[in-house]
């Protein structure tokens, strides 16, 4: 049994799971929306209030790790882009006794790829497989084999939180920016001739839950589901017609995502288009799962 914590741009997440031959067996999976990356796109600094929210959430989630379980904490776009990211990482270690590994874009993509193929191994997908991880601060697109062999791809500084802060309701200019940033990223995977596309991250799983009309969000329910590009386009259009309050009332949409889901959906649609797919899979297996199974991951003992 191991525990992985992820300090993301929009949320802090925890996975406690066992490794089994059939894939990870989650025992605890929790998240807290903190919007840690608020303002980082413009200021390149983590806000004091955002750090306080993230530290409180991290402390709360750490308390949910069963005694004696080794743990690992990783951080993504917000901490690697902010000038005071390493300072916050040191504060976390001093306060909670928890070292934080700040991932590069490549490392984030590798872990997301590993987590996605690991979570879908029982689905017997034929390779090559491309995995797209749409986050709050960045988007990763990487390609490899169903067995987890990592071939290549890239990471771009475009995510749902960044788009919200940059463009607000300027949909047309936002679309132009998305394509400009993501097109070169997609071109890195196209030469591998991927046969399947798997989308991971909060945008993909939230949209899947909405498309499935779930009364309550479930990792198991969304993992392995397949959707057409047209279904996602239609869902994004329907969400765009709703008010913020109406989106808050969607039962399967996590509180704190109602203002971001439209921007994430725009990213997902563009990724699918640029990679030339008409259908794609969704998985809740992302970098948390990847960190769980990565051979080189250094987990600390619970007492450290």
Element (H, E) at 262: helix 261-274
Model pLDDT, residue 263: 92
Q: What is the mean pLDDT of the chain?
A: 91
Judge whether 303 lies within some domain.
no
Contact status, residue 77 vs residue 138, Cβ threshold 8 Å: yes
299 inside domain: no
**What is the number of other CB atoms lying within 10 angstroms of the CB of residue 152?**
14
CA-based torsion, 213, 217, 219, 220: positive or negative: negative
189, 183 contact by CB (below 8 A):
no
Verify that 152 and 28 share a domain, yes or no: no
In 166-275, where do the E strands start and end? 196-200, 226-228
Residue linked to tokens 């997609």 = 186
pTM given for the model: 0.91
Residue 216 lies in domain: 122-286
Q: Locate tokens 């970098």: which residue?
A: 287
User: Residues 212, 216, 219, 225: what is their CA dihedral angle, to the nearest 10 degrees?
Assistant: -10
The secondary structure element, H or E, covering residue 158 is none
Q: What is the mean pLDDT of residues 247-276?
A: 93
Residue 36 DSSP code: T
Look up residue 208 and give its two tokens: 């899947």
Q: Report the domain count for the chain.
A: 2
pLDDT per position as a tens digit, 192-209: 999 999 999 999 999 999
**CATH code of the domain containing 262:** 3.30.420.150
Which of 64, 17, 87, 57 is closest to 285 using CA atoms? 17
Distance CA 12, CA 254 (A): 13
167 pLDDT band, cuts 50/70/90, is confident
Looking at the domain assignment, is residue 134 inside a domain? yes
Instruction: Return the H-helix or E-strand segment holding 15.
Output: strand 11-20
Same domain, 201 and 67: no
Residue 96: its pLDDT value, please? Answer: 94
Would you place residue 37 in the very low, low, confident or very high pLDDT band (cuts 50, 70, 90)?
Answer: very high
How far apart, in whole angstroms, are the C-alpha atoms of residue 171 and residue 192? Answer: 32
Give the model confidence (pLDDT) of 116-135 as tens digits: 988 888 888 898 999 999 99
Shared domain check, 232 and 205 = yes
For residue 107, the SS3 value is helix
Q: Tell me, what CATH number does 24's domain have?
A: 3.30.420.40
Distance in angstroms (rounded) separating the CA atoms of residues 48 and 80: 16
In which band, very low, low, confident or very high, does the pLDDT at 25 lie, cut at 50, 70 and 90? confident
Residue 4 φ then ψ, to 5°: -125, 135
Tell me the pLDDT band of 180, cut-offs 50, 70 and 90.
very high
Same domain, 187 and 38: no
CA angle 75, 77, 83 (to 5 degrees): 90
- Contact present, 2 and 17 (Cβ < 8 Å): yes
* Other Cβ atoms within 10 Å of 263 Cβ, number: 26
Question: Are 138 and 280 in the same domain?
Answer: yes
301 falls in which pLDDT band (50, 70, 90)?
Answer: low
Is 302 part of any domain?
A: no
151 by DSSP, 3-state: which?
strand
């Amino acid at each position: 049994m191991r525990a992985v914590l992820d300090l993301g741009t929009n949320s802090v997440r925890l996975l406690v799971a066992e490794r089994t031959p059939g894939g990870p067996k989650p025992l605890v999976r929790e998240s807290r929306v903190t919007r840690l990356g608020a303002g980082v796109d413009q200021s390149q600094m983590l806000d004091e209030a955002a750090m306080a929210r993230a530290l409180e959430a991290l402390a709360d989630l750490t308390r949910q790790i069963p005694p004696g379980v080794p743990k690992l904490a990783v951080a993504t776009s917000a901490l690697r882009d902010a000038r005071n990211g390493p300072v916050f990482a040191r504060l976390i270690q001093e306060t909670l006794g928890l070292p934080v590994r700040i991932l590069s874009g490549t490392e984030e993509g590798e872990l997301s790829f590993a987590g996605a193929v690991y979570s879908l191994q029982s689905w017997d997908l034929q390779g090559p497989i491309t995995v797209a991880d749409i986050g709050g601060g960045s988007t990763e697109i990487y390609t490899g084999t169903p067995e987890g062999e990592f071939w290549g791809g890239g990471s771009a500084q475009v995510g749902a939180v960044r788009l919200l802060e940059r463009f607000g309701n300027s949909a047309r200019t936002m679309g132009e920016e998305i394509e400009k940033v993501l097109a070169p990223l997609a071109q890195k995977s196209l030469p591998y001739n991927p046969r399947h596309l798997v989308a991971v991250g909060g945008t993909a799983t939230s949209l899947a839950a909405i498309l499935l009309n779930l009364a309550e969000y479930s990792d198991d329910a969304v993992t392995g589901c397949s959707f057409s590009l047209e279904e996602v386009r239609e869902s994004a259009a329907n969400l765009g017609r709703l008010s913020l309050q109406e989106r808050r009332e969607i039962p399967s949409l996590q509180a704190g995502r109602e203002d971001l889901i439209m921007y994430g959906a725009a990213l997902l649609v563009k990724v699918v288009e640029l990679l030339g797919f008409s259908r794609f899979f969704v998985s809740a297996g992302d970098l948390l799962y990847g960190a769980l199974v990565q051979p080189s991951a250094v987990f600390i003992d619970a007492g450290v």
